[in-house]
Amino acid sequence: MRHFLFNILLAMLWMLMWGQFDSYTMIAGFGLGYLLLGVVSRIHTDPRQGYGSRGWRLLSFTAYFVRILIKANLVVAWEIITPGYGMTPRFIRYCVDGLTPMQITSLANAITLTPGTLSADISEDARHLYIHCMYAKDTGEAVREIDELRDRLLKEIFACKV
pTM of the predicted model as reported, rounded to 2 decimal places: 0.73
- Closest C-alpha among 2, 19, 27, 3 to residue 11: 27
pLDDT value for 6: 83
Residue 162 resides in a domain: no
Residue 26 resides in a domain: yes
Query: What are the tens digits of pLDDT across the range 87-138?
Result: 999 999 999 999 999 999 999 999 999 999 999 999 999 999 999 999 988 8
In this prediction, what percent of the chain has a pLDDT beyond 70?
A: 92
- Reported confidence tier of residue 44, pLDDT bands at 50, 70, 90: low
Other C-beta atoms within 10 Å of 57: how many? 17
pLDDT value for 41: 72
Specify whether 128 is located in the same domain as 71. Answer: yes
Structural domain harbouring 13: 2-44
Specify whether 92 is located in the same domain as 28. Answer: no
Specify whether 115 is located in the same domain as 134. Answer: yes
Specify whether 24 is located in the same domain as 64. Answer: no
Residue 86 resides in a domain: yes
Specify whether 95 is located in the same domain as 128. Answer: yes
Specify whether 32 is located in the same domain as 15. Answer: yes
